[in-house]
Amino acid sequence: MPLRLDIKKKMNARSDRVKSVDFHPSPDLPWVLSAMYSGNLFIWDYKTQALVKQVEVSAPLPVRCAKFIPRKQWIIAGSDDMNLRVYNQNTLEKIKTIEAHGDYIRYIAVHSTLPYVLSCSDDMTIKLWDWDKNWACVATYEGHAHYVMMVQWNPKDMNIFASASLDRSIKVWGVTSGSTTPHFSLTGHTRGVNCIEYSPSKDKPYLVSGGDDKTVRVWDYQTRQCLQVLSGHTANISSVLFHPTLPVILSGSEDGTCRIWHATTYRLETTLNYLLERLWSIACLPGTNDVALGFDEGTMVIQLGLGGTDTLGDGEMVPLSVKDMGLFAVCGDDEWIVFTAQALRNKAFGSGCEFVWAASGAASGTYYATREASGRITIYKDFVEETSFKPPFPVDEIFGGYLLCVKTSDFVCFYDWSSSRLIRRIDVVPTAVIWSDSGDFVVLATEEDGAFVLRYDKDSVVAAIAGGADLDDEGLEIAFDPTYELPNEKVMSGTWCGDDSFVYISSNQKLCCLIAGQTEVIAHTDRPLYVLGYMPEHGKVYCMDRDYNVISYGLSLALIQYESAVVRQDFAAAEQCFAAIPESLHNKVARFLEGQGHVREALEITTDKDHKLDLALNLGDLQLAGEIVGELTAQLPAGADRSINYSKWKQVGDQALKQGDINLATTCYSQGCDVAGLMLIAQATADRSLLEKVASMAREKEMWNVAFSASLLLGDAEGCVDILVDSHRLPEAVFFARTYCPSKLVNKDSDLFESWREDLTSVNTQLASSLADPRNESYQNKLFAEMSSTLAAERKREGSKAAIAAVPATRYQEEKNLLDVDVAAEMSQSEDGLYAKMGWTGSSAPSSLLPVNDSSPSEREATPAPVVDTPVREGSPTSPAVVAAAPDSESVSSPGTDGILVESAQHEYHHESSSDAASAGLDLL
């Protein structure tokens, strides 16, 4: 018979071409991920049809596949730039970029339990990545003879995966044997295979594939036979899969249609065509009937059938209430029966639609209660009816525990087991009532209002009842005291760990622990789990999934008690509990203490050096912080990259600088090779030797800007020229030498000018030939007439370096006027006149210039660097650094920085006559 599926549109989002779609598995995150041909990722809320997030990945290159990794809250995407990229799904911060393949990446498959990701590519390889090993490629699988279009894990054996290729084959591989050769191949498609998918059914070892031959094929991978060929599409098959819950196969094609086939009879059930051009990708959300479709013109989400499932279907296992005394109850068809656990003997039975046990110790004897469809509640003691009553309101549900809880549509009422008296009415509508083992606390978990933790005062209730307190419709106000509230949490299931903490699974699949009002996340789960209980002797919380697999998570009872005592500020009790906490949990304790504001105590406990460093910096203990970084550096093995600790040295140095500890800051910056920080200190403290060290370190690290600035401050003009040459800035080197150290140009053994000319020749031969060489005698009188006075100033500066360096900052007021002296002009007129004006007496005169490290930047204006233009290096027809100087150009000389005589020339551009240009070209001053 046909399935008669109702098809309902849930979202239709128009966009550019969508190459891949994927659902987020969390029920609280109704997200569908679209990978775009434009190079972007879009995350849609398919309930509101709103675009929630988007990120540019590789635009304009396409992203062909993207998947959620829910366990890590990541998104992984593969694109045509041959890289895999990992993003945080919440912030879209890029976590990792992996150079994955040598050609386009076609598909990504994420392992459901192990930290593995498979990727396949047009380079004909499949690679296995391990994110626990910093995304190392742990295996490469080769064997296909054409593009590998898709890979899929086998859900029944997660060590096996299959691949589809345009070489017309499907290959099956393994990840545990150590072999990278395929186990076997399936052949039958007459053209390339684009897509594959394993059947999720436990009793069907089937695999479905689609190819460019426009057919869908169903395979038995155990017998390696093709069971069925499904025809009907009119273009290449781009996506195919088994629905995880419905007995259907879905196939998508470039003909723009999605065809739904019966998974047993292989009959075509229906064809969907939404006129959105080619269909590239199909995804299903497990546990629902939702299907996402990715088209050329957007993303669509549809629902097959009515959706939803019964809480307990026919033939499913019934969750049983387990008692230490060895009894269990089964309730169904308006009847209940109590059996003994060992012999399965009938202990008691009766009519009723609901059955709950009283908590052990709630009252003297064995109590339980039943509810009939009429709303009558009967309480039994030791398997004998104790009392029966019908509340004056409609009853929706009853809960067991230390009190009998009766729920209506607006409130709940708590009754005493032995006396059946109303203890308290509370205006909340819980979906679960969870008591602590002692009965002192209870959690009321609601659907929309979060969860409430109440303290039950048993002693006050007993005293009030014994004293004949008047119990009205509201009960006793003193019975319950609100303790904590979880306003934004939907508790799906939970259990108490003593009275100190409550462990629960939230609706967004987080396993959390509530300790004295503080919530701590234990783990993020990749699928819905149900909390079974806590075993303190094992120190573990046990959970179960829908497939009845039991999963455990470590939770030390001593740690719970310690954290509870700290939150209560009972530090004596906390100290006693700490002795029982394993050393492996000390780092966790330290982080908890840091979160509580006890940073000093956390520093004493933690064994993690990085954490200890952060805590020491937080406390301002720079001496300890420096010792920690020194220990980390000393622990590095021989030959290891020591730069991994540079950032830590800089952290300590920055903090030391803030506190004014210059010596410690200098030491830290030196250890961390922080050249910029050292230069800042050298300038601020006028430390010439440190500035020399900075210049040397910067040159070694090829930090040319810092190296140039340091050399300029030192007055090392020749060093500045060498730096410009080393950094391949030859035009700037020539201009700088012309202004500050002309001897580098006119000396016969200097090749600076020739190096520039040779470099310019590779760009423009005509411009190179037009350069005027200052060593050429024919140019010296016409273009370089002031060269002799400039050379004399340079020689004077060289002879006065020691005296210049010795001038202290305290003489700034006496020396500052000398900064305005036109040295070159004075030298050209009279060298003796220059000496007199500057107060010099022979060669032993003090400096006319103040060292930069002894000067106050706020009190004088720094001499500007010479303005030069860089020639366009790549095929430029002109060079702005080549200029012609008028013979009467005005020269303006001024003292430079830290003993450097600066001569700057204001040049006018002019054109020679054609005859002059032929002989001399463009002249350079």
Contact criterion met (CB below 8 Å) for 300 and 33 = no
User: Minimum mean pLDDT among 61-75, 259-273, 546-560: which range?
Assistant: 546-560
- pLDDT score at 615: 86
Most confidently predicted of 142-151, 341-350, 524-533, 868-877 = 142-151
Q: How far apart are CA 788 and CA 794, in angstroms?
A: 10
Q: How far apart are CA 21 and CA 291, in angstroms?
A: 10
Tell me the mean pLDDT in the region 53-78: 94
Structure confidence by residue, pLDDT tens digits, 410-449: 999 999 998 888 999 999 999 999 999 888 999 999 988 8
Q: What is the pTM of this model?
A: 0.45
- pLDDT score at 830: 62
Percent of the chain with pLDDT over 70: 82
Instruction: Specify the higher pLDDT residue, 877 or 721.
Output: 721
Tell me the mean pLDDT in the region 78-105: 94
User: Minimum mean pLDDT among 37-46, 296-305, 613-622, 770-779: which range?
Assistant: 770-779
Q: How far apart are CA 32 and CA 44, in angstroms?
A: 5
- pLDDT score at 627: 84
Coil, strand or helix: which one is 823?
helix
- Please report, as a single letter, which amino acid is at residue 27: P
pLDDT at 539 over 50: yes
Coil, strand or helix: which one is 888?
coil
- pLDDT score at 907: 31
Structure confidence by residue, pLDDT tens digits, 450-484: 899 999 998 888 888 888 777 778 888 889 999 88
pLDDT at 887 over 80: no
- pLDDT score at 253: 95
- pLDDT score at 854: 37
- pLDDT score at 467: 81
- pLDDT score at 88: 93
Tell me the mean pLDDT in the region 346-372: 86
Most confidently predicted of 356-365, 415-424, 744-753 = 415-424
- pLDDT score at 653: 86
pLDDT at 313 over 70: no
Structure confidence by residue, pLDDT tens digits, 228-284: 999 999 999 999 999 998 889 999 999 999 999 999 889 898 999 998 999 999 999
Q: How far apart are CA 886 and CA 895, in angstroms?
A: 24
H helix or E strand, kind and range, residue 273: strand 268-273
Q: How far apart are CA 392 and CA 23, in angstroms?
A: 47
pLDDT at 514 over 50: yes
Structure confidence by residue, pLDDT tens digits, 16-56: 999 999 999 988 899 999 999 999 999 999 998 899 999 99
Residue with tokens 């009998």: 404
- pLDDT score at 586: 86
Tell me the mean pLDDT in the region 277-293: 93
pLDDT band at residue 891 using 50, 70 and 90 as cut-offs? very low
Region 7-304: CATH code:
2.130.10.10
Q: How far apart are CA 421 and CA 475, in angstroms?
A: 9
Q: How far apart are CA 497 and CA 822, in angstroms?
A: 86
How many Cβ atoms are within 10 Å of 883's Cβ, its own excluded?
A: 15
CA atoms within 13 A on the CB side of 780: 11
- Angstrom CA distances, 178 to 138, 183, 222, 573, stand at 10, 12, 22, 52
- pLDDT score at 606: 86
Q: How far apart are CA 708 and CA 724, in angstroms?
A: 8
Structure confidence by residue, pLDDT tens digits, 628-648: 888 877 776 666 566 667 788
- pLDDT score at 218: 96
Most confidently predicted of 360-364, 544-548, 706-710, 781-785 = 706-710
pLDDT band at residue 802 using 50, 70 and 90 as cut-offs? low
pLDDT at 862 over 50: no
- pLDDT score at 3: 62
pLDDT at 837 over 70: no
CATH architecture, domain 490-555: Beta Barrel (2.40)
- pLDDT score at 475: 87
Average predicted confidence (pLDDT) for the chain: 81
* Relative orientation angle of helices 609-619 and 646-658, to the nearest 10 degrees: 10
Structure confidence by residue, pLDDT tens digits, 162-211: 999 999 999 999 998 778 899 999 999 999 999 999 999 888 899 999 99
pLDDT band at residue 845 using 50, 70 and 90 as cut-offs? very low
- pLDDT score at 345: 83
- pLDDT score at 882: 32
Identical fold between 7-304 and 490-555: no
pLDDT band at residue 836 using 50, 70 and 90 as cut-offs? low
How many Cβ atoms are within 10 Å of 60's Cβ, its own excluded?
A: 10
Sketch the domain layout of the chain as residue ranges.
Answer: 7-304, 490-555, 715-925
Tell me the mean pLDDT in the region 860-876: 36
pLDDT band at residue 811 using 50, 70 and 90 as cut-offs? confident
Tell me the mean pLDDT in the region 115-143: 94
Burial degree of 14 (CB within 10 A; 0-12, 13-18, 19+): exposed
